[in-house]
Structure 1
């Protein structure tokens, strides 16, 4: 697709850099969900891999290129999933990985980052504070800063999901994509609009973390003072201008969903799909619940993007009305 920073040929090349453990993830129709949602629903399952999220696709590209050029140290800010993925990809290539995260990030994600051998630095405040600290470390130490969504490797790695979708059968009418920093939304959206332009690309955010959705609607960067959502993986306040520019070209819509719908989506994916997912991964199902008329009779794909969840919190959410 013309106009975005992404390139379809580079995305195809990126697929060759990614460990096959992250590729060709399951895509299947989940008929058990359909009576409750009123449409045909297929799941693209991005949790069946060593880091339990789609982020490994992008970090594999980053780490491969760093190792190829002799770079040995890298730092990133993470809400949890990117840090795990970069630690995993860096470990296998001998990279020294530092991850900066908020102290309020889920403990399970932080523990996994440490277990994968990365150096973890915690900061007070939210993800955007961690992003500032990671940038400071990169400047001070002269090492590569990986900025999720801004760095094309993260977007084009995630875009390989889109290649797998457009190569699948039967065809589908819409794809629902969790929207945080924008790597997955711009990556998958680029491929869909380049290769299957008739498919509707719909991005989904929590109403408690709406910055990118507001920015998409207003066609300019809008920041928010705070976030208030259980979907920590998409809880950013400060959209990146270049990423918004790409999103404006590939997204047909951006919608906000309530916290209760996110919890209901997690519960439905457990009870009807046998899937334990983190809140961000339930955004697509939440969007269908809140817009049943819009999706009635259509075939919708939702990308289940992560399953790194705090067990105690998960039981509180999903078990609340079980």
Structure 2
């Protein structure tokens, strides 16, 4: 395969990348979503890259980059940095090609992603608290050892590899009008936009960032990549402080708009993917679904939302699902003062049972309260927003002083 330019990427590069990936990347399914279709008044399909090898789309770009190395470069091995998905893609791609790999990950990277990266044969090193800190350490490692740095998003080979998703979408759903996808550094959005706009310039491409880590809105406003301060978000896979130069240029010209979503909106999207689509998706991978739920008027159907990854720590998933239940009005956390006398707690629980509420957790606190008083902290599951309002109204009507949250 002829290596791509270090300064540009073309539609022909995406086509070449697809041929290279023919026996490596899966052609992931496209699933119709009834609930999302109802929310925007037209067809919505989900492109399930969470079912891709290594659990995300990242193996596409990583493999194309690694497979294009010369024999001399392969002998030196590769180095990369990632919160998890690119790490796994590089580790898997290196193993398939038969070369060594070292991956720098931020402290606190999800344990399942760390374990999976190691299982593919990579040497994992922790550096810093953010992806950007890990990136700096990986670049220094490459300069010191001669290992080839495999950038997670800002390289023509990587962008071309991710662009193969766009070709698949057009073949699987030719009538698509809008494609919505997660946006971190920009490799996925740049590649898909390049592939799709080359064939169907009328298709809208919308990128979605986590509100807490959104470098693209500020960058697009001034016309060049800018750095935003590090921020904590559950969508760690797209928490990138600065867009890539090449990916930014493509996104600036080819992506129609960029929107942001809140943590609660991401949680709600994760819950929907699990409950209604039966898809386990990580927070970054569900950003597109979150945007559709939060801003349905922005998406002209037919729509394809890319579920870009499914690598999520089960412990994190349980916390996010509770947050998603709360955002959907199906989970209440209450503090209720009670008189400190026999039967007071039993009366409250009986009232909740009468209202059809499921009590998930309860803490009865007596120490630290005023004499003759106690406080009960409750975590409740309800049937939805209307039921939650009914529960609160009924309890307050009984004289209980309720503090939510």
Query: Which category of TM-score, normalised to the shorter sequence, fits these structures?
Result: over 0.9
Give 1:69 deviation, angstroms.
6.0
User: Which residue of 26, 29, 49 corresponds with 2:29?
Assistant: 26
Which of 4, 10, 15 is matched with 1:7 structurally? 10
1:133-156 CA distance string (max 9 Å, x none): 000000000121111221111100
Once the two structures are superposed, the pairs formed by residues 133-148 of structure 1 within 5 Å of their partners are 133-148=137-152
2:211 aligns with 207
1:103-133 CA-partner distances (Å, limit 9, x unpaired): 1211111111111110000012211000000
Alpha-carbon distance change, 69 to 302 in structure 1, aligned in 2, over 3 angstroms = farther
Deviates more, 1:141-150 or 1:261-270: 141-150
Given that 2:127 and 2:133 are in contact with CA atoms closer than 8 Å, whether structure 1 keeps it comes out as yes
Q: Write out per-residue CA displacement over residues 146-193 of structure 1, whole angstroms, 9 at most, x where no aligned residue.
A: 112211111000000111112233411100011001110000011111
Which among 85, 89, 108 is matched to residue 112 of structure 2? 108
Work out the CA distance in 2 between the residues paired with 1:191 and 1:217.
25
1:58 match: 61
Q: Provide the C-alpha distance between the structure 2 equivalents of 1:213 and 1:39, rounded to a whole number of angstroms.
A: 28
Q: In structure 2, what is the equivalent of residue 319 of structure 1?
A: 322
Deviates more, 1:149-158 or 1:220-229: 220-229
User: Which structure has more RCO (C-alpha within 8 Å, separation ≥ 6)?
Assistant: 1
Whether 2:152 is the aligned partner of 1:164: answer no
Tell me how far 1:315 sits from its aligned partner: 1.0
Structure 2: distance between partners of 1:81 and 1:67: 25
Report if aligned partners of 1:149, 1:183 keep a CA contact under 8 Å in 2: yes
Contact 2:26–2:52 (CA under 8 A) maintained in structure 1: no
Q: Which residue of 1 aligns with 2:44?
A: 41
Query: Of the candidates 6, 16, 21, which is equivalent to residue 19 of structure 2?
Result: 16
1:76 aligns with 2:80: yes
Of stretches 64-73 and 124-133 in structure 1, the one that deviates more from structure 2 is 64-73
Worse overlay, 38-47 or 245-254: 38-47
Structure 2's unaligned 5+ residue stretches are: 1-6, 331-405
Which residue does 2:183 correspond to in 1?
179
2:127 counterpart (102, 120, 123)? 123
2:216 aligned with 1:217: no
Matched residue, 2:200: 196
Alpha-carbon shift at residue 236 of structure 1 (Å):
0.8
1:255 match: 259
Alpha-carbon offset, residue 34 of structure 1? 2.6
What corresponds to 2:94 in structure 1?
90
CA–CA separation in structure 2 for the residues paired with 1:222 and 1:293: 29
Across the aligned residues of Structure 1 and Structure 2, the Cα RMSD in angstroms comes to 1.7
Once the two structures are overlaid, the 10-residue window that deviates more, 13-22 or 87-96, is: 13-22
User: Which of the pair has more CA radius of gyration?
Assistant: 2
1:38 offset after TM fit, Å? 4.0
SS of match in other structure, 2:206 = strand
Helix, strand or coil at the partner of 2:126: strand
Partner of 2:309: 306
The question of whether the paired residues in 2 share the 8 Å contact of 1:33 and 1:273 is answered with: no
For residues 67 and 28 of structure 1, the distance between their equivalents in structure 2, rounded to whole angstroms, comes to: 39
What is residue 387 of structure 2 aligned with on the other side?
none
Is this contact kept in 2: 1:211–1:239, CA < 8 A? yes
Q: Helix, strand or coil: the match of 1:75?
A: strand
**Please, which moves more after superposition, 273-282 or 27-36?**
27-36
Q: Distance in 2 between matches of 1:169 and 1:244?
A: 27
Residue 99 of structure 1 aligns with which residue?
Answer: 103
Deviates more, 1:170-179 or 1:306-315: 170-179
Contact 2:26 2:53 in 1 (8 A): no
For 1:49 and 1:222, the matched residues in 2 are separated by 31
